[in-house]
Amino acid sequence: MSHTRSSNRRGSVSTALAADRLGVPSVLFFVMSAATPLTVVAGVVTTGFAITGLVGIPFAFVVVALVLALFSVGYVAMARYLANAGAFYAYISQGLFKPLGVGGAWVALLAYNALQVGLYGAIGAAAAPVLHDWFSVDVAWWIVALVAWALVGALGLQQIDVNGKILAVLLCTEVAVIVLFSIADLFHPAGGSITFDTLEPSNLFGPGVGAILGLATLGFVGFESSVVFSEEARDPRRTVRIATFLSVGIIGVLYAFASWAMSVATGPGQIVAKSQSDSTELIFNLAQAHLGGAIVEIGRVLFVTSLIAAMISFHNTTARYMFALGRERVLPAALGRTSRTGSPMIGSLIQTVIGFVVIVLYAVTGGDPLIKLFFWGGTAGGLGVLFLIATTSISVVVFFKRTPSEENLWRRLIAPALASIALLVVVYLAVTNFATLLGVQPDDPLRWLIPVIYLVVAILGIFWGLALRAKRPDVYATIGMGAKTAVAAVAVAFSAEEASL
C-alpha cells in the first residue's frame, strides 16, 4: 500500500495512517466494542421485549445476522479494491456517484458522532449505582461523563494498537460475563425445563415486527467499521474479511443466545412482563438470584467499561472519517494530518471538542442524559448507519457491474443484490416504526425530524460534491481513492498541464 507523507520540522506530522498495526484480533475488538454487547443485551433486548410485546427477539437476531452476513460478502469483496478509512464514503463514491459519496460521508459523520457522544449520557447512569454501593458517594452524571471523555480523548491520540489492547481486555471480560450470566439462566429455567419457544420463527411476526427488526439491526451497528481500519491492518484483504465475518457471527450468536437464555429463566410467557417491570436491570436481577451479589457487581462494573470501550471505538471511527475527507481535501486538508503516533490528530481533537460541548450543554440545561442523549442519540445514529449500509450494498452491485474483477458471480452480484433487497425492507420497517424505536408517540415531531435531518445533510453533501466537480476538478477526481489520493492528484495535475500545452 502506498502512503504519502508530509512532515513538519520535527517529522511528527504525517498524511498517512500508521500501516501494519492491526491484526484480525485487534480489528475484531474494535468492531465488537462498538457493538457494545453488554449494553445491547441489558438494554436493547429488554427494550425490545417491553415495547413490542413479541417474544421473537432471539430469532430476530438470527435473521439480522444472516442479512448482514449476506451484505458482508460483497462488502469485503469490494474492500479488496478500496482500502479507505472512510469506508462508506469511498464505497458509495466509487460505486455509485461521487457527490452521493460526499453526502454519505456527511451522514456518516453525523451518525457516528451521535453514537459516540450519546454514550456519554449513559455512563453516569451506569456508574452511579457502582459508586454508591462501593464508595457511598453520589456523583453527578456529567462528572463521570467528563472523566470518561478525558480518557477517550487521550487514547484517541495514541497509537491505534494501544487502543486495540485496551479494548481486548474490556471486551473479553464483558463477553465472558454475558456468557456466564446466560449459562446461569439456563441452569435455572422457569418451570424446571428449558424451552425453545422464543427461537421459533412464528414468534417474530406481529404488529411490532418492524420495531423488533430495527432494534436487532441497531444492536449490530459497529460491525461495518472493520473496513475503516483497513489502511492500518496487516494484510488488509485477509484481515478485513475475517474480522467482518467473525464479528457478525459472534455478535449474532451472542445476542441470540443471551436473549433466549433470559426468556428461559423468566419463562417465555413472562419475559415481556419482566422486561417491562425490570427494564435494564433484568439481566442483573436474574444473575443476583442465580449467582449472588459479588458476580453481579462485577457485571455492573463491566457494564460501565462496555460503554467506555464503545466510546473508544466510535471515537476512532469518527476521527478516521474526518481524516479520510481531509486527506482528499473534500473537507479542510488539516483534517488529513496524523500525529507521530499515526493517529488522525485533528479529527480526534475535533471529536473530543464536540463531546465536551454536548456534555456541558446537557449539564447546564438539565437535559435527560439517559433518554434524550444516550437513547435518542444511539437510535438516531444507528438509523443513519442503517441508511449507509443499505446504500453501500447497492453501490457494491454497481461497482462490480462496471469494474473488471476476479470475483465470482455470488460475491459480485447475487449476494449483494439479495442483501440490498433485504436491507431496503429493514430500512422501510425501521423508518415506519421509528416512533416505537424512539419510545415516543406516533405524532411526535421527532419521529420524522431525525430521518429528515439525515436527508437534508445528505442533500447538502451532494451539492458540495457537485460544487467540487465544478470548481475544484482536481479534488473531485480523487474522491474516494483513499491512500492513492496524492498519487492520483499528481496524475490529474500532470494531465491538466499537458492539455494546456
> Residue 468: its pLDDT value, please?
92
In sequence order, what DSSP letters do the residues of 135-189 get, joined into one string? H-----HHHHHHHHHHHHHHHTTS-HHHHHHHHHHHHHHHHHHHHHHHHHHHHS-
Task: Decide if pLDDT at 47 tops 50.
Answer: yes
End-to-end Cα separation, the chain, in angstroms? 33
**Percent composition of the chain: helix, strand, coil (DSSP 3-state, to 5):** 80, 0, 20
> 7-16, 131-140, 274-283, 446-455: which range is least confident on average?
7-16
Q: C-alpha grid cell for residue 391?
A: 446504500
Question: Does residue 263 come out as left (phi exceeding 0), alpha (psi in the -120 to 50 range) or beta?
Answer: alpha
**Would you state the pLDDT for residue 25?**
75
Q: Is the pTM of this model over 0.75?
A: yes
pLDDT for 355-402, tens place per residue?
999 999 999 998 888 888 888 888 888 899 899 999 999 999 999 988
Averaging pLDDT over each range in 140-154, 160-174, 367-381, which range is the top one?
140-154
Look at residue 233 in the predicted model and tell me its pLDDT.
Answer: 64
CA R_g for the chain: 22
Percent of the chain with pLDDT over 70: 85
Mean pLDDT of the chain: 82
What cell does 245 get?
465475518
List all residues 6 or more positions away from 428 whose beta carbon is below 8 Å from its beta carbon.
none
Which pLDDT does position 106 carry in this prediction? 93
Task: Report residue 353's pLDDT band, with 50, 70 and 90 as the boundaries.
Answer: very high
Average pLDDT over every residue of 400-411: 86
CA distance 363 to 379: 21
Residue 159's pLDDT is what? 64
How far apart are alpha carbons 280 and 257 in whole angstroms? Answer: 17
Share of the chain above pLDDT 90, in %: 29
Per domain, the residue ranges of the chain are 24-500
* Residues 26-37, mean pLDDT to the nearest whole number: 76
Name the residue with higher pLDDT: 351 or 53.
351
Please name the residue that has the C-alpha cell 431496503: 424
**Cα–Cα distance measured from residue 108 to residue 449, given in angstroms and rounded to the nearest whole number:** 17
C-alpha torsion sign, points 63, 69, 71, 73: negative
Q: What is the pLDDT at residue 410? A: 92
Q: Which stretches within 234-281 are classed as H helix?
A: 236-266, 271-278
Cβ proximity of 170 and 152 under 8 Å? no
How many CA atoms within 13 Å lie on the side-chain side of 15?
22
Residue 119, φ and ψ in degrees, nearest 5: -65, -25
373-412 burial string, b = 16+ CB within 10 Å, else e?
bbbbbbbbbbbbbbbbbbbbbbbbbebbeeeeeebeeebb
**Residue 43 pLDDT level (bands cut at 50, 70, 90):** confident
Q: Cα–Cα–Cα angle for 349, 350, 352, nearest 5°?
A: 65
Q: State mean pLDDT over 5-17.
A: 44
Mean pLDDT of all residues in 6-11: 40
Angle at 16 between CA 12 and CA 17, to 5 degrees: 95
**How many CA atoms lie within 13 Å of 487's alpha carbon, on the beta-carbon side?**
9
Q: Is the pLDDT of residue 490 over 50?
A: no
Nearest to 305 by CA among 162, 147, 174: 174
Specify whether the CB–CB gap between 496 and 100 falls below 8 A: no
Q: Alpha helix locations (H) across 279-344?
A: 282-291, 293-327
Q: Which fold has domain 24-500?
A: Amino acid/polyamine transporter I (1.20.1740)
Q: What's the angle, vertex CA 168, arms to CA 167 and CA 172, rounded to 5?
A: 115
Amino acid at 140: A
Residue 22, beta-bridge partner list: 233
Per-residue pLDDT tens over the stretch 168-197: 777 788 888 899 999 999 999 998 889 898
What is the per-residue pLDDT for 305?
83
Per mean pLDDT, which range of 10-24, 298-312, 382-396, 475-489 is the poorest?
10-24
pLDDT tens digits for 191-233?
888 989 888 888 777 676 777 887 788 788 777 767 766 666 6
Sign of CA dihedral 428, 401, 244, 184: positive
**Residue 494: how many other CB atoms lie within 10 Å:** 10
Res. 30: pLDDT tops 80: no
* pLDDT tens digits along 70-114: 999 998 888 777 766 567 888 898 889 899 999 999 999 999 899
How many residues are given for the chain? Answer: 501
Q: What pLDDT is recorded for position 13?
A: 46
